[in-house]
Chain A
Amino acid sequence: MVFDVQKETLPRDELETLQLKRLNYLLHKIYHNVPFYHQKFKELGIEPDRLQAISDIKHLPFTEKQDLRNNYPFGMFAVPRESVVRIHASSGTTGKATVVGYTQRDVEIWAGLMARSFEAAGATRADIVHNAYGYGLFTGGLGAHYGAEALGATILPVSGGATKRQVMLMRDFGSTILCCTPSYSLHLYETALAAGISISDLKLRVGIFGAEPWTEEMRQDIQNKFGIKALDIYGLSEIMGPGVAMECIAAQEGLHIWEDHFLPEIIDPESEEPLALGEKGELVITTLTKEAQPLLRYRTRDITRLNPIPCRCGRTHYRIERITGRSDDMLIIRGVNVFPSQIESILLETEGLSPHYQLVIDREGGMDTLEVRVEVHESMFSDEIKHLQRLEKKIQNHIKEFLGVTAKVTMVEPMGIARSEGKAQRIIDHRKQ
């Protein structure tokens, strides 16, 4: 079924007319209300004249994650702070989180787009939605929550953790839709088996999985294990949160990006030039209706392509294919975004530690694991085991505190970290098989 038939099935020409109208309004708004954009336009000698065609956007500047950090905390707001009814933020070291603000209307549109996404997944108000995305500053939990409510479904705000109890609740309440990261779904499965709970006692029929990359093989695995349809959802907090794009259950082949609210482009991450429709490159998104924090040509760093082929579900919005990689070195570990540079700065802030480290990422029992290997140097070396263990614990606590992920910290011998052509191999990701 389609939540907003009129908007979701707009003929392409009408959709593009709407996009251009909204884009021009956005340009006018950010030029006059966001000092960052005002200055940027001035520097580039651009007047936010009315664009004649959407493709003219290629002459306008990009926005990067660093721009958001530089304007921490509220510098990117296009409305007075009093008009902001909610703030989300993503992790960062030493206070430089990425902050996102929402007006009342932003929150409502978000809920509407998530409701659309739920309906694209075949959900109705009769469904019971088990929402295991984390609640809090992370957008996953609340995003799915308000979307399910807007649809009229029954939402269970279980958030993360207490996995065994989650499985029991799913069984006892007869949850029909599961929202979580794909890896957590496999963890739920393992936990159910270990607890002697039969999967056939669950009423799940659809899973809405996102916040981390996964493969087609993993989708098949999840579908077979739970006997459900596993669908991909896409979003990022800077743009809105989950519900920027959603795979429809009818085709299960790519995610419809809600183009009446988000203008997608695919660029070559190196040359920054737009690529032809259908080519693979970095996804760049312009928010068309955001009030509190509109972003122009935001570099998502996610690698995908746009599929213009009409979908059998009847929606006219283009589909992005499953995210296949990143144009930077960001890692997603149990749904948490982690940049190696963040770990590096934590290590450097801990006295006596060498900048030589290695991150080893793996997946055990469906859950991502992160091991941080740190080289032991004379300055920090002690002949007493407890000193080194205390240091390991300290680093582990700092990583947990700043980045929100649990890491195993291991001390290794100097040069124990493989160096290729003089450069240390910083990341070993065993998940990419």
Chain B
Amino acid sequence: MKVEQISVFLETRAGRLADVTRTLGEAGVNIRALSLADTTDFGILRLIVTDHEKAKQALKENGFTVGRTNVVAAEVEDRPGGLHAILTMLSQSGINVEYMYAFVQQSGKNAVLIFRFDRTDEAIETLQKNGVRIIPGEELYNI
């Protein structure tokens, strides 16, 4: 039920992000979702792509430091309070969100939340128990 996310270390300087997108474009890899976390001197780009193996290889060949992390994708109705309901379930179970980002699906009815938890398996269990649909990796890569 987990989703493979790749993360890329980036120095804070002009053109670095474009280098990543060019590399992925040339490798024929499509980006499903992304988030960029930054500090004063470096950033971490987190990506969910159509083909993470290919993306990782292409980025490494171009000298990037690439990591892989398991994240969880949860579907939520695109309406006010949708995210809040999920966060409430998690906090009641004492599960920490390390970071998260979201995107809205093309149909426009549902939003997809990408979570990085401190305890991934317990988080999945909690969400499923509460009737939240977890999107499997394969489905997400091929949306």
Contacts and interface: CB of A to CB of B under 8 A. Distances in A.
Contacts of B46: 383
Nearest to A378: B65
B51 interface: no
B141 interface: no
A312 to B, nearest CB: 53
Given A376-B9, A381-B9, A384-B98, A414 B67 contact: no
B103 interface: no
A146 B98 CA distance: 57
Given A376-B42, A383-B67, A414-B65, 10 more contacts: A377-B65, A381-B9, A382-B67, A383-B46, A384-B98, A384-B99, A385-B39, A388-B42, A413-B63, A415-B63
Contacts of A412: 11, 42
Interface residues of B, number: 20
Given A411-B41, A415-B63, A383 B11 contact: no
B100 interface: no
A413 B42 CA distance: 9
Interface of B: 5, 7, 9-11, 37, 39, 41-42, 44, 46, 63-67, 69, 98-99, 116
A6 to B, nearest CB: 60
A374 to B, nearest CB: 11
Interface residues of A, number: 17
A414 B61 CA distance: 12
B124 to A, nearest CB: 19
Given A383-B7, A384-B99, A411-B9, A376 B65 contact: yes
A383 B69 contact: yes
A413 B9 contact: yes
B67 A411 contact: no
A416 B44 contact: no
Given A383-B5, A383-B44, A385-B37, A413 B11 contact: yes
A410 interface: yes
